[in-house]
Amino acid sequence: MSMYKIRNIAILGAGTMGSGIAQIAAAAGFTVYLRDISKSFLNRGLARIKRSVEKILQKGLIRISKEEILEKVIPVVSIKQIPQDDIDFVIEAIPENFELKSKTFQEIDQYFSLEVPFATNTSTIRITKLASVTQRPDKFIGIHFFNPPPLMPLVEIIPGELTSNHVLELSKDFVMSLGKEPVILKRDVPGFVVNRILAAALEEAYKLLHENVASKEDIDKAVKLGLKWPMGPFELSDFIGLDVVLAILETLKLEVDERFTPPDILIERVKKGLLGRKSGVGFYNYQK
């Protein structure tokens, strides 16, 4: 088992995270089967990869050609289109919803050999909880990339309670082969390291706005200049997606404690479909 080698990867979900992970894996020489539930989602994901690679090439950050990267990404709509005997590693990057993720893992658990490790890119859900829906809890791990994956150097690696040392080492080597910096958690806790700290900071920023202590512009400016964040909390919320932030807070409220209760100013915006940059309006307006 220690000779286990990752060559071909299946990535489930062609959204911002899935397509970003596919891009860096292809650039590192892996063959990637990128799966999503519709052609239009896949096409959007592939267009995103093309744009991102073009930007990175312009900056001279990679030496591999756009064509070489794109030919390593094979788009598929059905799991059955992925050659099950060729896959050495599966990464799930679908929306942050436990039921949806569970259903997906149960489906692929039947399809891929029990030798194949599964990784989830969840940003908050406990790894042990997701692993429990599969027949391979020892070969199940959290590999949490940050948005956008091609530019963000950090990856949190979270072993579940039953994850084997072999799968932990394999995942660490894989992450480093992508040119990323791994941080390994000693315990499987909801929200891991970054999102636990971030969620607490965002909660506080929302509270300051709600209590009319300062405008969102000034809160953002204060955090950027005073804490050296590249984006303020409201800009960052819009960038992540307010629906994603809400899902993170709801999970942490449920799994950790009440201090992560989502505030009304966030819930109301999500209800109205004001999700940030992706919808054109969030805390700020991007339609100009």
Residues annotated as catalytic (active site), given as ranges: 123, 144, 156, 195
Over its C-alpha atoms, the chain yields an Rg (Å, rounded) of: 19
Residues in Cβ contact with 22 at an 8 Å cutoff, skipping those fewer than 6 apart = 11, 14, 32, 34, 45, 49, 73
Start-end of H helices in the chain = 16-27, 39-58, 66-70, 98-111, 127-131, 165-177, 194-210, 216-227, 233-240, 242-255, 264-271
State how far the alpha carbon of 281 is from the alpha carbons of 96, 107, 208, 242, 264, in Å.
Answer: 21, 36, 21, 10, 17
**Tokens linked to 245:** 């932030």
Does the bond joining 148 to the residue before it have cis omega, within 30 degrees of 0?
yes
Measure Cα distances from 248 to 157, 194, 211, 260, 263 in Å. Answer: 18, 12, 23, 9, 13
The one-letter amino acid code at 177 reads S
